[in-house]
């Protein structure tokens, strides 16, 4: 059976590339998905790539993914207030990599302090922030490495 890795994206990331390019870059989510698919093909795993604006849908997708080969998640705005998403991530039995395109810690110095404090991080195996959309690819490389180990 093919090993499946889930890449899950939270609210508003469907509009990636359309605003604040100085923070998030110009790539769209479709561009990110295409790059992730290349890695999945090369590494021989099946990729599920999804985006939702709804908390309950994200919870359902994490539950679906909990026994898969890995979860890469950019919870976006849900990072700061969603206990249901946190609880679902805690139930994952696979590596979980939290990805933020921007450096949320740096932004916490200049914007609001809450931005640097993702509620999700205690449930993550690791966190990548500030490396742009390359963070998704690096997270998948990590999962692929874990699958080979």
Separation CA 138–CA 134 (nearest Å)? 6
For the chain, helix, strand, coil in percent to 5 are: 50, 15, 30
Instruction: Candidates 39-47, 51-59, 61-69, 100-108: pick the segment binding ligand CA2 (CB under 6 A).
Output: 100-108
Which CB, 5 or 13, lies closer to ligand CA2? 13
Residue 17 beta carbon to ligand CA2: minimum distance, rounded to whole angstroms: 6
Examine residue 102 and tell whether it contacts ligand CA2 (CB under 6 A): yes
Which CB, 20 or 41, lies closer to ligand CA2? 20
Instruction: Candidates 36-44, 55-63, 72-80, 86-94: pick the segment binding ligand CA2 (CB under 6 A).
Output: 72-80
Which CB, 1 or 83, lies closer to ligand CA2? 83
Examine residue 45 and tell whether it contacts ligand CA2 (CB under 6 A): no
Tally DSSP H helices, then E strands, for the chain: 6, 5
- The distance from CA 34 to its chain's CA centroid, rounded to whole angstroms, is 15
Residue 129 beta carbon to ligand CA2: minimum distance, rounded to whole angstroms: 7
Burial of residue 18, with CB atoms counted within 10 A of its CB: 0-12 exposed, 13-18 middle, 19 or more buried: exposed
Examine residue 100 and tell whether it contacts ligand CA2 (CB under 6 A): yes
Separation CA 54–CA 46 (nearest Å)? 24
Separation CA 85–CA 76 (nearest Å)? 11
Chain residues binding ligand CA2 by CB under 6 A are 12-13, 15-16, 18-20, 24, 74, 76-77, 79, 100-102, 104, 115
């Amino acid at each position: 059976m093919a090993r499946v890795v889930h890449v899950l994206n939270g609210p508003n990331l469907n509009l990636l590339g359309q605003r604040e390019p100085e923070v998030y870059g110009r790539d769209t989510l479709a561009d990110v998905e295409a790059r992730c698919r290349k890695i999945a093909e090369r590494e021989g795993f099946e990729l599920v790539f999804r985006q939702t604006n709804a908390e309950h849908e994200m919870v359902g997708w994490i539950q679906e993914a909990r026994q898969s080969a890995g979860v890469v998640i950019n919870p976006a705005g849900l990072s700061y207030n969603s206990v249901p998403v946190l609880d679902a991530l805690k139930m994952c039995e696979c590596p979980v990599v939290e990805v933020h395109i921007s450096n949320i810690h740096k932004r916490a110095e200049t914007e609001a302090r809450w931005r640097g404090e993702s509620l999700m991080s205690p449930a993550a195996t690791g966190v990548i922030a500030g490396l742009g959309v390359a963070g998704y690819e690096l997270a998948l490389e990590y999962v692929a490495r874990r699958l080979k180990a």
